[in-house]
Structure 1
């Protein structure tokens, strides 16, 4: 069942992306859509997933195919094959969802949750990719205001501690919900996982297995509340279990997107600290690199090194080592963000709300007792 949900989320993500491109007039009537190959690369999904999204849009009369040439945006008054249902008039109330990435399972599930609630309430969704750029995020916010959307849900970009456009929306009492993380110093509505408790639970699990030398791997911490809170949870778990906090075990400036330097940094970190028996990583990107580097170094996971990280990834149950992970319950977060935004739109005088939801620890194959603990049994 889980696989079906993940697959559906990715297909809905592609479908919603194309709908938003049409709604924003980035794609005009009779413009050619990106090819299936292009969409497959852009979203890092299978060709079957892309085909399903395109087929749904054809059936709804939103796009049409020309054999051997491609798929095109349909005109609003375009005639379709006999028996096809008429295209429904567009919903006038629109909500914008701004995400920093569009090609991972985490955001696909957030999108799925948001869309399901908005659709039930009669709102259309404009899905905007900010490409993890503050400048593009600010431009997109201004564009959405100009389009008179009823409200916005914004997932801030990495490293963002302040955004003047979000501050302006807050000062103007514009219906807004910040999702997944929050911006310190800006009093706005937010829906977030409780990253501190999630990290604390994950590290407590490692400690319960007998680990005392636990490393912490992350990208740049400063300015990203979710990472700051995960570090705080890691340190709180150690402190409450009377384990000294050794800052040498923190590696916090690893940048994603450059696999070779990341692998070299992780290899150097493991070589410098052979006493480490466990690693807590802030995301699956870093976690999977740990598994690869450890394998190359002859370090077995979990026999020699236990590993836990935030967020699952697609088809993880088929990975060489099924990872123990902390789920942010993304579908729930998306639903709650949409519910809160609708409530704000319909009752704008209400007080600001900050909602935090407990993540869920899923224990699988990448964590085990350290060798020293097992040998003493």
Structure 2
């Protein structure tokens, strides 16, 4: 087990190969990289692994992509290249996808779903990232509008629910679809997961295992509908099973950037760890915890282990979202799966429908989730006294 942890991941090997070629062969700005198929053949890996490597390089500002043409070395100014000029008659066939980051397996599934559905209708994907920054989101929106794209699919920065730019486009009306969440009280085209139902099923699973003291941990919601709905599902499940909603068993002020270190760097932030330790110590009767995302859920499992608390024998843990190779983990997690590929496909169908008929009523499309039961949850009876 220790050897596999130390082995350099395949996508990292691909990144290093590109770095080496830039250094040894003087690949400069706008040099075209080998295709995904060529890289997959060279390293004997799947195209998904290659795509993950290229997206990581894009995230670092070293590579940019033109859908249908390939990936290229960025200029070294550090500014991502959104799009190289194309003939005017092709511009209207581009749909921009704006999302915070593109590192997780969730993001890859979303991108693939969008890309595949667009290609069926002769459209191309323009991928842009905001790096979880409200200012960057505003800038990127302005950039893609100047490019005269046919429409925009946006995964908003967390907490920025009522972005003025998004509202302005919605009121125009402009072909815009929001994914992952919706805007409360505002009529917008949205495609999102059944967050409330997914959390409800996860909490019901824990209660049916005998857990009556279930904790809830999340990043700050700041009016982010996806997080608010998961909290609502948690509370509704407790109410339906006639269990009290105890606010002491909630910890909802975790910072997203700190929590995400578990995914981006494979380590838990010290402040996150300290906060989880405090939460567990303050609730000694708590026998299960539900986390709103995989990064926070994994942080709970690691922190509990460091405290000498066994998962699931002493503490059951489940969370929203799966992660790559989760079934090979020491403790395979019970989690709520989102169908990101389907979310992407439905977002494209919705935006193309709106392009054809901009006068139609805006729609919300809710995609079901699926609870996958693995080894991080167990019946109350197996807990040590």
Q: CA deviation at 1:121?
A: 0.7
Aligned to 1:193: 193
Distance change in 2, residues 1:47/1:127 (3 Å) = closer
Q: Which moved more, 1:45-54 or 1:274-283?
A: 45-54
Q: CA deviation at 1:50?
A: 3.6
Question: What is the alpha-carbon distance in structure 1 between the residues aligned to residue 280 and residue 54 of structure 2?
Answer: 43
Question: What is the alpha-carbon distance in structure 2 between the residues aligned to residue 206 and residue 347 of structure 1?
Answer: 45
Distance change in 2, residues 1:283/1:48 (3 Å) = closer
Aligned to 1:272: 282
Question: What is the alpha-carbon distance in structure 2 between the residues aligned to residue 116 and residue 260 of structure 1?
Answer: 40
Question: What is the alpha-carbon distance in structure 2 between the residues aligned to residue 61 and residue 93 of structure 1?
Answer: 14
Q: In the alignment, which of 311, 317, 326 is matched to residue 316 of structure 1?
A: 326
Task: Note the 1:342-361 alignment, pairs <5 A.
Answer: 342-361=352-371
Q: Does the aligned pair in 2 maintain the 1:210–1:373 contact within 8 Å?
A: no
Aligned to 2:303: 293
Q: CA deviation at 1:158?
A: 0.7
Aligned to 1:41: none
Q: CA deviation at 1:198?
A: 0.7
Question: What is the alpha-carbon distance in structure 2 between the residues aligned to residue 116 and residue 297 of structure 1?
Answer: 45
Is the partner of 2:254 in helix, strand or coil? coil
Question: What is the alpha-carbon distance in structure 2 between the residues aligned to residue 64 and residue 154 of structure 1?
Answer: 24
Distance change in 2, residues 1:46/1:345 (3 Å) = closer
Distance change in 2, residues 1:61/1:310 (3 Å) = closer
Q: 1:4-30: per-residue Cα shift (whole Å, max 9, x none)?
A: xxxxxx98xx99xxxxxxxxxxxxx96
Is the partner of 1:191 in helix, strand or coil? strand
Distance change in 2, residues 1:53/1:295 (3 Å) = closer
Aligned to 1:170: 170
Q: Does the aligned pair in 1 maintain the 2:114–2:348 contact within 8 Å?
A: yes
Q: Does the aligned pair in 1 maintain the 2:56–2:103 contact within 8 Å?
A: no
Q: Does the aligned pair in 1 maintain the 2:91–2:147 contact within 8 Å?
A: no
Question: What is the alpha-carbon distance in structure 2 between the residues aligned to residue 137 and residue 240 of structure 1?
Answer: 40
Aligned to 2:317: 307
Task: Note the 1:144-293 alignment, pairs <5 A.
Answer: 144-258=144-258, 259-293=269-303
Q: Does the aligned pair in 2 maintain the 1:176–1:341 contact within 8 Å?
A: yes
Unaligned runs of 5+ in 1: 1-9, 16-28, 36-44, 66-72, 77-88
Give me the TM-score of the superposition, normalised by structure 1. 0.77
Is the partner of 2:332 in helix, strand or coil? coil
Distance change in 2, residues 1:141/1:237 (3 Å) = same
Q: CA deviation at 1:91?
A: 7.1
Is the partner of 1:218 in helix, strand or coil? strand
Aligned to 1:31: 30
Whether 1:136 aligns to 2:146 is: no
Distance change in 2, residues 1:285/1:63 (3 Å) = closer
Q: How many residues align?
A: 318
Q: 1:41-74: per-residue Cα shift (whole Å, max 9, x none)?
A: xxxx9789648999xx9xx875689xxxxxxx9x
Q: CA deviation at 1:116?
A: 0.6
Distance change in 2, residues 1:127/1:52 (3 Å) = closer
Distance change in 2, residues 1:49/1:133 (3 Å) = closer
Aligned to 2:108: 108
Could you list the runs of 4 or more consecutive aligned residues of structure 1 that deviate by over 2 angstroms after TM superposition? 29-35, 45-54, 60-65, 89-92, 371-375
Q: Does the aligned pair in 2 maintain the 1:303–1:368 contact within 8 Å?
A: yes
Is the partner of 1:361 in helix, strand or coil? strand
Q: CA deviation at 1:219?
A: 0.6
Q: CA deviation at 1:150?
A: 0.4
Aligned to 2:76: none
Distance change in 2, residues 1:61/1:355 (3 Å) = closer
Give me the TM-score of the superposition, normalised by structure 2. 0.76
Question: What is the alpha-carbon distance in structure 1 between the residues aligned to residue 51 and residue 345 of structure 2?
Answer: 27
